[in-house]
Structure 1
C-alpha cells in the first residue's frame, strides 16, 4: 500500500502526517537541534517516497507548531529555538488548547486528566476535534483516561459558604449534575470521531476517586505534563431555580505549569516529574477508582 492509497478501513493514510510525525520525532528527541537545517523538499520527498506537495504541507504543520522557522525563499527551513518549559506559565484556556492541538498531531494520542469536572478540558479540546473533522489532523487512535471526584463521596468542596449550612446537600448535588453533563459531552464528542470514521480507534474511560481535588493534571502523549492549582473562592451559583452562596474550587483561569521531555524541557528534572506524575495517576486508576455511571 502506498502512502496515499486507501487504508483497509476506508480512510486514507496521510503522507503529510507521516512526514510531519517523523520529523517531529527527530526534533523532539534531539536528533535535530535548534538551528539545524532540514534537507530540501526534494530530498525529503525521496526519503519518504512521496511528493513535494505532501512534504511542503508537513513543513507547514511543523511551522504552525513552532518547531520550524523559514530561512528565506527556496531555502530549507531550520529547527526553531524552543522556549524553555520553565518560562512564564500561561492561563489554562490558552495553554491547554495549544498543547492539545500539538498532541493531536501524533499518530497515537494519549491523554490522562485529573480534574474537578471536564468543563475546561471540553472547551480546550474543541479546536483539535474540529481540526480532525476538517481532515487537518488525522491521528490513528485516541485514548483518554479521566479521573474525577466521586459523585457519591462526601467531598470537602463545594459547600455552602455559611458554616451553619455546611451540611446542605445542594452544592454536591449540583456538582454531580455538572460532572455527568460535561463527562457525557466529552465522551460523545470524541466517540463521534470514530463513528464518523475519522479516527479508526477511540477509547474514553472516565472513572472517579473519593478525593477533593486541589489541583488539576494533564498528561499528553507521555511526553509532557501540565499542572495547575484550584483556588477556593466564595461565589453565587444557581441550582434548580435557587441561588446559593458557596465555597467552590475554581480553575478556569488557572495558570498551567508545563514540564516536557525532549530539547524544550529541563532534561532529567522534567522527565522525572512526568514519570512520577504518570505513576501517581496510574496508582489512583488501578486502586481506588470506580467507573463513572453517566445514566
Structure 2
C-alpha cells in the first residue's frame, strides 16, 4: 500500500502516525502483526527514516505499537488494558498511570532497575504533560536508574547463535545497544533539565552493574513497587550496518510487554513488607555495588 498521495510534500511524523493509526483501528493491521521495517516505511511514505521513527514512537506512546527502537520492525500491540496471568499487566500499560499518581505528590522519587530505560522514557510522557499544563506541580523529582554496564556480553540482546560466531554481527549488536542507551539517557537528562527550567528541583542519576538483568522493577515514592521478569525469546531485529536492512534473529526480550505485578505498601497482607524489602535491596545495590560511570 502506498500512501504518498495522502501526504503533504514534507510529511510530518503526525501525518504518518495518523495513517498507521487508522490502519490499526480499521483492522488492516491486527494485534501481533509486524509492520514493515523503518527503511521500508520511509520508502513507502517518501520520507527520511528519522521521520518514520518519530511517527512510530508516537504510536508506541499511545500503546498501539511495541518493539519500536532504532532499526527494529515494530509490532501491533494488544489493547493497553490487556491483563496477563495472575493479575499482571504489561509494563507499557501499567507504568504510565502509576507515574501520574506518583507525580501528584510534592516529592517524587522514582527508582528503576532495568535492562534499558525505554519503557520509563516513554511512560514519563503523560506525567510530564500534566506538570507542564499545571495539573500537577511537584516540588522535587529525583530519578535513579540502574542499568547494566555495556562493556560485557549480554545474555540478551545477543546474536541468536551466541557471541563469537560472527564478529561483524557481534560488533553491530553491541553498537545497537550503545546507540539506544545513549539516546535514552539523553532524553531522560533533557527531560529533567526541562523540569528544572520550570522551577522544579529535579535530577536524574544513573548507576551501572555487571550482569544481564533478569527482571525490571520500578519503585515509586518508596511506597509502590512494580516488578516483572524479562522473558527471553527469538526476535527479528534490524541491525544497522549489517546485511543491509534485513532483520537478523537475536535472543532478546520485549521490555514494553514484560508482565508487571503491583505491590502497594498500604495494601493487604505482606505487600508492605515486600515493598520495603525491594526498596532496601535497591538502596543497598545503589550504595555498595553500582558504579557511577558506564
Does the alignment reach a TM-score above 0.5? yes
Partner of 1:219: 219
Partner of 1:139: 138
1:217/1:228 contact within 8 Å kept: yes
Asked whether 1:182 is paired with 2:184, we answer yes
Q: In 1, distance between residues paired with 2:282 and 2:239?
A: 32
User: TM-score, length-normalised on structure 1?
Assistant: 0.65
Superposed counterparts of 1:144-223, under 5 Å? 144-163=143-162, 165=165, 168-197=170-199, 199=200, 201-223=201-223
Q: In 2, distance between residues paired with 1:153 and 1:280?
A: 23
**What secondary structure does 2:206 align onto?**
strand
Deviations 1:130-171 (A, max 9, x none): 110111100000011000010112322221112462762332
Q: In 2, distance between residues paired with 1:180 and 1:172?
A: 12
Q: In 2, distance between residues paired with 1:90 and 1:232?
A: 18
Deviations 1:62-116 (A, max 9, x none): xxxxxxxxxxxxxxxxxxxxxxxx9722221121111000011110000000011
Superposed counterparts of 1:43-192, under 5 Å? 88-163=87-162, 165=165, 168-192=170-194
- How far the C-alpha of 1:221 sits from its partner, in A, is 0.3
Gaps spanning 5+ residues in structure 1: where?
Answer: 1-85
**What secondary structure does 1:219 align onto?**
strand
- How far the C-alpha of 1:292 sits from its partner, in A, is 4.4
Q: In 2, distance between residues paired with 1:107 and 1:129?
A: 14
Superposed counterparts of 1:242-257, under 5 Å? 242=242, 243-257=247-261
Superposed counterparts of 1:5-24, under 5 Å? none
2:172/2:241 contact within 8 Å kept: no
- How far the C-alpha of 1:232 sits from its partner, in A, is 0.7
Deviations 1:192-216 (A, max 9, x none): 111132x2x0010011111201110
Of 122-131 and 152-161, deviating more is: 152-161
Q: CA RMSD in A?
A: 1.9
Gaps spanning 5+ residues in structure 2: where?
Answer: 1-84
**What secondary structure does 1:146 align onto?**
strand
Moved over 3 A (4+): none
**What secondary structure does 1:231 align onto?**
coil
Superposed counterparts of 1:247-286, under 5 Å? 247-262=251-266, 265-267=267-269, 269-286=270-287
1:129/1:190 contact within 8 Å kept: no
Specify whether residues 292 and 117 from structure 1 end up closer, same or farther in structure 2 by C-alpha distance, changes over 3 A only: farther
1:238/1:244 contact within 8 Å kept: yes
Report how many residues are paired: 203
- How far the C-alpha of 1:256 sits from its partner, in A, is 1.1
User: TM-score, length-normalised on structure 2?
Assistant: 0.65
Q: In 1, distance between residues paired with 2:196 and 2:257?
A: 31
**What secondary structure does 1:105 align onto?**
coil
Asked whether 1:291 is paired with 2:280, we answer no
Between structure 1 and structure 2, the one with the greater Rg is: 1
Partner of 2:16: none
Deviations 1:166-196 (A, max 9, x none): 7623322211211111121012112211113
